[in-house]
Every structure is written in structure tokens, then in C-alpha cells.
Amino acid sequence: MNLPVHFGSPHLLLLLLALPAVVLLAKRSLAGLDPIRRTLAVALRLAVVGCLALALAEIEWRRVDDRLTVIFVVDQSLSIPPKQREEALRFVGEASGHLDPTTDEALLIVFGKDASIETKLVKNQTLPTISSVIAPEHTDVSKALRLALASFPQGSRKRIVLVSDGNETRGEMAKEVELARQQGVEVSVLPVHYKYANEALVEKITVPPQAKLEQPFTGRVVIRSFAKTDATLRLYLDGGLEETRAIKLEPGLNVETFQWSLGRAGFFSVEATIETPNDTLYQNNEAHSFVHLQGESKVLYVYGVEGESEPLLEALERERIEVEAIDATAFPFHPTELQSYDAIILDDVPSADLTKQQQSNIEYAVQHLGTGLIMIGGPDSFGAGGWIETPVEDALSVEMEIKSKKIIPKGALAMIMHSCEFADGNTWAVRIVQAAIDKLSKKDEVGVLIYDWQGADKWLFPLQPATNKARLKALCNTMPAGDMPTFDPTMKLAVNGLIKSTATVKHMIILSDGDPQQPSAKTLADAVKHKITISTIAIAPHGGPNGFEVNLMKKIASKTGGKFYLARDPRQLPKIFIKEAARVSRSLILEETFRPRLRHTGEVLKGFHPDDFPPLHGYVMTQTGPGTTKERAQVLLESHKGDPILAYWRYGVGKSIAFTSDARGRWAKDWLAWPKYTNFWAQCVRWASKELDDSPYLVTTSVKGNRGKLILDAVDEDGTFVNHLEVAGIARSPRDKRTKLKLRQTAPGRYEADFDADETGTYTATILTSEPGQEGGESFTTGIVFPYSDEFRRLEANPRGLARAAKRTNGQVIDPTAEGFELASLFEHNLSAEEAFLEGWPWLLALAIGLFPLDVFVRRVMIDYEKHWARFIGVFARILPGGGGPRPPRQATGTLGRLMERKAEVRDERLPSTIAAAGAAAAKRFEARVAADAPGAKSGDQGKSKGKAPAAGAAGGDGGPPKEERLYTSRLLDAKKRALRGQRRPSDGDEKK
């Protein structure tokens, strides 16, 4: 049957049989109501019951939709050549010409790795290009089909037209096809065919994973070419071009070999790229691999002061430790360059000489690559060298700031800023003062002086401890830029402030262009007398480097023992200021003669005895011990004051040693002649150096799509599995993006971790194993190669998968060139229609719920329907021509007046019993909204009288009082009387209605 209405549970329609019963019941229970009301109430009840019955019977309206929705799912991934991609869009455009807007809907979905709805198609749509972003380096057909299935509207017939080469690199199409079949969606396919004529691609590059230093190894590059062509092959080592070759390619596979021998140890990525004149896809022109070279131990030695390193270098040479000595400017910038060194020695190098990135690389090398770090003291080392709060401090075994002493050494720094005349002068001033404040320790005092244009030479903020650096830096933001007329007032203020300070080191920095009037001789003399050093920095002096302003500023510096700087460019200023601020931390240097005390020998000082050590003449104060971050560090040698002289610890994979005195003539002159000097340093360096990895553990890697996996098999020499290790590491992408790894144990001795890689190339992974509670462990470095997407590798269409999809869903395999193919067939309504049902129960239920209170209302609430109806009619009667006169209003007053009269009458009647009166009063309460103008209403006996009052009389002759009116209330009154009297007989005039 094709009825428009359908019942889910037709048996419940039997509930409709209850309707007559409702009527019958109503007859009894509603007897008291007047006819109109009763009818209404019954009708409402019938309606409510009817609605409920139908709702329960699950009434449904059936809709048959003749709509058709066609979704074109078009592959725009890069495996398809551009021409074919455009043709696919053109095809869709042509097909849209057969769209019938009244019954059809069409969508275009494009996909690559992602799928996106490009547009809703209109008739004769043109599609020059797509605007969706779909990551075309991959093909994920299943995602696109999933999106299409979700995009169909309810109730229409559904067809998908899939245009693709079938080369999926992600996901599985078959699952979605099955879903489509279940949902009655027809999937027709249009396979895209193409042929790459001139493509060349690098299949892979292989090199041995391990090689020996200085020994040649062979690598092979496999290239596939579709045509005979010339090509250029380039080979890269760690990003640098090593070799370029011109080669000739034949169709098919070509192999090129190369032999390299490398002089540096470490982990290197190797890359091969190919270039041909007519190449179509560039993404597949590169392949990556890596090689690990083991080498001899080599140490990188960085000296801060030229010419003073001979003693140490000679000593190490005697011990046959290979050392490369450089100054800070030659320090490598790239983290991988640090790999070739087993240890780094910083000998009296100030932190300002290395960039933050270089310092961070050192910390990384120690923590993750196992490189050793040794810092040797001097006037520019440790805290005095500004290494406070640097990454290198993190890796070292001592803290630079001293917190635990009773008399904490502190410095005081005053800065005079006259910087307004050069471009952005004020901004620079703020910035460099803030940078200097950062370099101070919290106990150091700092103050800034300026000339305020409103006429004052004054402190921006006076000399005070730098405990709240944030606050002081914020004050700098209010620095006014005034052109200072003379140096003297601010210098006097500064000198006086510094004289009053209890700091051990007092320093002043003046930044100016040299224009202001020079300070008085007395001011300078006072500075010298109180050992206040003044450094001056000339920025953009008018007279240039030879002007007398420069002379003036040089003189101030030299007279007081400070340094002069000529800054040609404001960008030099921050470094100068930081260096100068660090001078304040000279307070950390203690120059006294003492014999270092041996606390333990540990591993480093094996074979040394307490009396062995000659005196030292100075060191930089540092701190370790409980309460610091260096609690774990071991102090082997200490000064007469208990400060560390030699302290070491393990940091991540690596080890670091801090030697706070120096290794040359200044503080260690007695050591240079010491016979054990060589042994001492050799042992330190050897201990700190990276350990060779000859571990029996095995690390393997695997790659699936863009997910890399690391597997560690921890089996020790006896063949037993090593369990419960803590294994953690870092994976570094070719562009130096780092991902933390934690390997979890998945089987006896086996630990695994995955990570996502979104770059192509060689990723480096270093992992460190450790046993819980123990220090140190094994470290491993390996590479993981993520090649280019398969999208660029297969380069041929895969129509079989598509054909299968079509077959499963009764779709067609479209061949636009075939005879008899009609484009209009795509829009044919030959699919089985889907039935849609609109459920009726929510509406019916709502209706029932709405009607029910209405029913109650009708029964309970007294409204004089007749009167209202009459009035309503009356309104129209007035409006309509020839209508009746405005009778009702007059009647109203008249009636109301009569009513009041009647009321008075009744009262005067002196009812015999108070009960009657009470009853009257009670009845009055029920006198709800009686419209005074309805013809029947004026029967003033709205129940309060005994009902026997001559209603007719009171009515005043407008027809007899309608019986219905007085019925209810009078009955109520009677009933009350009865109840009170205890009588059972009905009172007079009581009519059962």
C-alpha cells in the first residue's frame, strides 16, 4: 500500500475505541456544567485522548523523495599530472550541465591527504581551479569517501562519482566502499590514466651504517628514469655539498656509486639529489641516509686569553690527548659540529663571547651526546665571566651565584645614560640597561642616572639591590630622553652613591655621544680615591673616532681604571653593557694564597694524595651542596674557605668538571712546575670525555608513512634480557625540531617509542638508558630516514581498485571516450528511492499536553461565554454598516447598577441566619468575573440569595434570568447550608443539572 500515512504500531490504534467511553464518562462527571462548557470539555478530552492514541500508534507520514544528490569526489593529489587534474575538473563542469536544479543537487569534493567540500555545483558550473587546501602530497581516498557519505542530505537518492588514479597512499578505500554499499549509495568511478614520459626519481641511497674514520666507504644511489636523459647528481654530507656529477640516465634503474672517506668522527646525514632537464615532479628527486663514524678521542679547547694556554696544551699533548685549540670567535655554530669532540674545555672564556645558541648547543651536547665539559677559572670565568643563568651553568657542577655565605660578596653598578641623539636612542638605552640588570646577581646593587628634560640631573632609580629585577626593568621603561648638558652633576651623584655603598666592587658605566661638558677634576679624583672604576661608551660621537669627545671619554675611563668602548652601531651596545655589568661580579673573585684541600679522590683524582697539591693564589667563588641545584655534585678539592676548587658531576649522558682556579701563571703559577700537573689535567680530561659505545644493546628503527618507531633490545653479554630500564631520548628533525621520546617496555628486554615526522629527510635520535636510582647509562645515536611520499614513487594509475568499488555498489566505470557514453547518465534518477518518514508523535504529544490544561480551564474557570460572544458580535455589529446600536455598554451600566441594587436589597433582607450570611459571603467569593452586561447576569442572585429571590423581578424585564447562571453558585450555597445543618434533603430550587 502506498498510503501517505504509516503506523509503526498499528495495534495501538485500538486505543481509539476508548473515545466513546470518554464521552460517556464525561456525561456523568461534567453534569454540573452548562452545555457550552460541557461540550467544550468533552471535545477537548476527546482530542487529548485521540492525540495520545495516535502518538502511541507511531503515526508517520511518509515522504518519497525524488531528489537526487550526486557528489563528485575528485582526486587532486600530485601523483596525477597537472593536465589530468585540470581535465578532471573540466569533466565535472561539463557534467554539471545536466543538472536539473528542481530535483538534483550536486557537490564537488576534492582530496589529497585531506578532503574538503570545494563547492556546491550549479548548472553549467565552471571550475577553473580549486581553492581548498588539501595537502596534495598524499592520496587518501577513504577520507574523501567518508566525507562524501556524511555530506548526503537525508532522503535523497545518492550517487558518488569518484575521479582518481586509484593510487592511495593513506587509508583503505575498501572499507568506505562497503559502507557506501550498505547505505545504498552508488559509487561510479572515472579512472584517471596518465603516463610520465620524462620523469626521473631517486629510489634510494645506501651507505654502510658504520664506518671508520679516515677509511673509505662506498655508497650507492639508485635512480629510476622513464626516458633516456642527461642528469646532474649531487651528493651532500650533513647539508653541505660534497660532490656533483654529470651522468647519463637510461630508461629503468640506474646505479651510481661513490666512495668517501671522512676525517671527522660523528653522525652524518647523507643526501643525494638528481636534476634532469624535463623532469615533471621534483619531490622525488632526493633520497636520504646516514652514516656513523667512530673516531679517536678529540678535545675542543677554547681559550679566553690568547697566549697563556701553553702550559695546559703542552701537558695534554704529552699525554697524547688530541686537542683542537680555538678562540671563542671560532666556536662552531652548528650543534652537529660538536659531535666530533669528546670533551669541550672553556678556559677563562667570558659568556659574552659565545652566543646563546652556542651555549645551548654545549648544554645539549653534554646532556644528550655525552660530550664532556670542563670549565677552568680565571678573572673572566664562572660568575665573574657572566655565566650566571646560562645553559652552560645548567650543565656545570657548580652554581655561579653565592647565596650561603655570611658576608655575601656583592658589587654596585651605576649607569649614566645620555643616549638621546642617535636613532631610537632611547629605546636602545632602555634595552641595554635591562640587559645589564639581568646579568647582575640579586645581591648586587644597581642604579641609573639621567638628565630629565624638565631640568633635573637625577637618579632614575637610586642604587639598590637587584632583588626585584622585574620591577627595576619596568622602571627603565620610564626613562626620559634628555640631552645632558654636562656630566658632572650625574657623575657626582653616582660617585657619592657608590661611596656610601658597602659593595666590594664599585663600577660606573657612562653611555654618551661625548657632547656634554666634562666632569670636574674633583669628581674624577673622588672616584679614583674610592676605587670606583668608570667605563665609558661613546655612541655616534659627532667628531668620529678621532674627535675630542672620544678623547674625553677615553680619559675618564683610563683615569679610573675602566674601559673605553667606541660603538659605531647601537647593536654593539648590549654585548658591551653585559660585559661591563659582569665586571661587578668581580666581587666573586677571591685572590688569596691557599693550599687546596683534598676531600675525596673519586675517579678523577685516583692516585693523588692530600699533600700533593701546591698552593693556589686565587679562584672564583662558586657554590654546590644542599640547597642548591648542584646537590649531586661531588667536590674533590676545596679552598681554605670551603669553596669548591674542583667539582664534578654527571649531567644527562655526559659529565662535567668545574675547576675554579686557573691553569696558568696568574693563580696557578706554583702548579706549572708541579710534576703532577700533567697527570692532573690528563686525568680530568680523560674522565670527562665521552665514553665509547661498545654496548651489546641494539637499536633498530622502522618507518611507516610518517610515523617513526624506535626499538631498543637490551640484552646483556650473557644473553639475559635487561628489564625495568628507564629509556628516554630526543628525536631531532632535519630542521632541528625536537621531540621528546619515552620508550616503554613492551616485551622482555624490548623498549619501544613512536613519533610523528612531518619532514622528509634524516631524523637523528639519541636515547639514554639508565637503571632507576643509578647515575649514568648507555647512550645511543641513530638515524631514521623518512623518504618522500609514495605519491611520488609509484607514478602509475591503479584502476583495478576503482573498478572493484564500482562493481560492489552497482556503479559504472565511466569512460568518457567510449561509444554510447552519455554524460547525462550521471544525473539519471535510476536509483532506488529512499523513503523518508516524518514521525508524528512529537507533535501529537505536544498537542495533547497543550490541550489538557485547556480542558481543566474550561471546566474550572467561570467565564460568561455568552456575554463575551455577544459583546464580540456587538463589536462587529457596530463596525458593519447597518449594525445594531451600541446596546451592550449601556446595558452594562444598567445591569451593574441593578446588580448593586440587588445586592443592597439582599443585604437588607436580613437573612435569618448568619450561616446564610456566611454562605452569601462564601458565595460572593465564587462570584468570579460575572459580566454585568449579559442579559442573564443581572439576575443579581449570583447565588448569594437563597436562590429564591425573584430573579425575574431583579432582571428588570430583559427576559428571564438564564438558569445556568445561578445554578452553580446557588447549588454550592445550598450544599454548604446542608452540610452545616446536617440536613440531607436538597434545598428548594435546587436543580440537578
Partner 1 sequence: MSPRGLSRLGLPILALALVAGGLGCDPSTTADASDATADGGAAATSTPDAGAAAPDEVPGPILPERASEAPGVAAVFGGPGVGPSSFSYPRAIAFDGRDGGFYVVDRRAWVRRFDAEGRPVSQWQMPEHENGNPRHLKVGRDGNLIVADTHYYRVAVFSPEGVELRAFGERGQDDGKFLFVTGVAEDAATGDVIVCDYGDDVSRVQRFTAEGELLGAMGGLPGEEKGRFQRPMAAAVGADGRVYVADSCNHRIQVLDATLQNVLAVWEGFRYPYDVDVAPDGRVIVAEYGNNRISLLSPDGEPLWTHGRPGRGRDEVATPWGAAFVPGGDRALVTDSGNHRLVVLELP
Catalog residues that contact partner 1 under the rule CB under 8 A.
420-421, 423-427, 452-455, 478, 480-483, 485-486, 488, 515, 517-518, 520, 542-544, 548-549, 551-552, 555
Buried b (16+ CB within 10 A) or exposed e, 565-578: bbbeebeebbbbbb
Q: Give the residue carrying C-alpha cell 590514466.
A: 193
Shortest distance, CB of residue 539 to partner 1, whole angstroms? 13
Closer CB to partner 1, 29 or 478, in the complex: 478
As beta bridge partners, residue 344 has 300, 373
Q: Please report how close the Cβ of residue 566 comes to partner 1 at its closest, in angstroms.
A: 15
Closest of 466, 388, 458, 411 to residue 434, by C-alpha: 466
Smallest distance from partner 1 to CB 416, Å = 16
Q: Whole-angstrom Cα distance, residue 144 to residue 72?
A: 10
206 vs 426, beta carbon nearer partner 1: 426
- Cα–Cα distance for residue pair 368/766, rounded to 1 Å: 7
Closest approach, Cβ 262 to partner 1, in A, equals 53
In terms of CB distance, is 564 or 697 closer to partner 1?
A: 564
Within 10 angstroms of residue 394's Cβ, the number of other Cβ atoms is: 18
What is the C-alpha separation between 660 and 647, in angstroms, rounded? 9
Q: Following DSSP, what letter does each residue of 617-636 receive, concatenated?
A: --EE--B-STTSTTTT-EEE
Min CB(71)–partner 1 separation in Å: 39
User: What is the distance between the alpha carbons of residues 149 and 727, in angstroms, rounded to a whole number?
Assistant: 44
- For partner 1, the closer of residues 257 and 454 by Cβ is 454
The residue (of 194 and 422) whose beta carbon lies closer to partner 1 is 422
Least distance from partner 1 to the Cβ atom of residue 516, Å: 8
Q: Which is nearer to partner 1, 453 or 869 (CB)?
A: 453
Nearer to partner 1, 150 or 423 (CB): 423
CA distance 418 to 516: 9
Q: How far is the CB of 488 from partner 1 (least distance, A)?
A: 7
Helix (H) or strand (E) holding 316: helix 310-318
What lies within 8 Å, CB to CB, of 456 at 6+ separation is: none
Nearer to partner 1, 480 or 561 (CB): 480
> What cell was used for 893?
451600566
Q: Where are the beta strands (DSSP E) in 340-496?
A: 343-347, 372-376, 411-417, 445-452, 456-465
Minimum distance of partner 1 from residue 433's CB (angstroms): 15
- The CB-of-491 to partner 1 minimum distance in angstroms stands at 13
d(Cα 942, Cα 926) in Å, to the nearest integer? 9
CB of 424 to partner 1, least distance (A): 6
Smallest distance from partner 1 to CB 430, Å: 10
Neighbours of 481 (CB within 10 A): 18
Helix (H) or strand (E) holding 29: helix 18-29
Nearer to partner 1, 421 or 958 (CB): 421
Looking from the CA of 387 toward its CB, the CA atoms found within 13 Å total: 37
**Rounded CA separation 590/379 (Å):** 10
CA dist 105 to 99, 120, 599, 812, 827, Å? Answer: 7, 8, 87, 20, 9
Q: Kindly tell me which of 354 and 479 has the beta carbon lying closer to partner 1.
A: 479
Residue 664 burial (C-beta neighbours within 10 Å; 0-12, 13-18, 19+): buried
Q: Which is nearer to partner 1, 70 or 476 (CB)?
A: 476
Residue closer to partner 1, measured from CB, 389 or 488? 488
What's the CA gap between 48 and 26, in Å, rounded?
A: 13
What minimum distance in Å lies between the beta carbon of 93 and partner 1?
45
Say how far apart CA 302 and CA 338 lie, in whole Å: 13
